[in-house]
Amino acid sequence: MYKMAVYTSDAKIYQLVEQVMSEIGMRVDIEIQVSHLDEEAFDYQMIFVDTTSELGLGPIQKCIGQGEGLCPKVIVFTKDRKISIDVAKLLPVGYIQWPCDAEQIRFSFIQSLRINVVQDKILKLRQNRRIRWLLASQLIYIHSDRRKVIYHAKNGEIVCYAKLSAIYRQLPPEDFLVIHKSFVVNIWYIQSIEHEKVVLSGGIELPISATYRRFVHVVWNRQRQLLIESTSGSS
């Protein structure tokens, strides 16, 4: 039984989450909480947090920041994308812009279940004369700026001097996608794709160049369908 809590004072959010879990067919124990987040949140495998009704994230952020306990997966409802970016610095978070529909909740939930299955290939990075190591699963995206390459990972940035094309050859091809001559993204952190941009978890927006646009949309639609099919009927 999958244990889940919805921290909200808005009945519509709770009802949407309940509807989605029923449609997916998962055996889920859902509780509704109208209090602020506290250490009890660690009793759940996943929590939905409604920041639109001013439920605080402070206590759980502090615990996670100090490395205490087993962190639940967190999906945040927000009207303010900046809140999502701030929260993402500490939490393994997906975000949903409110108001939303059941499909957005369904996909965010499925994505959060799958986000840890990225092949944990160890990447060897040369930073000046130092060797740095980074797990592929921790890498959100890579940005190339002339000769400088910036690895944007969950625990911060690493700056190296290299060619993006050479770096891309090190990456698991099933998990990373070129969207622009200057950007490579980890497909598991993609929240949505619009015509000319990719939105990553935490509200990070990156451009899709015309050269890669059709390919990105084809790959994303195929991957999205695989994610949904692979978790349908899970228990």
| 35 vs 177, more confident | 177
Segment holding 59, helix H or strand E: helix 58-65
- With tokens 């306990």, the residue in question is 69
The answer to whether the bond into 99 is cis (omega within 30° of 0) is: yes
Residue 51: what pLDDT? 72
| 184 vs 122, more confident | 184
Structural domains in the chain plus CATH codes: 2-117 (3.40.50.2300), 122-231 (2.40.50.1020)
Is the separation of the CB atoms in 113 and 231 below 8 Å? yes
Going by C-alpha positions, the residue among 116, 118, 112, 107 that lies closest to residue 228 is 107
Q: Record the pTM.
A: 0.58
Structure tokens at 194: 């619009």
pLDDT digits (tens, 9 = 90+) for 196-213: 999 887 788 999 999 999
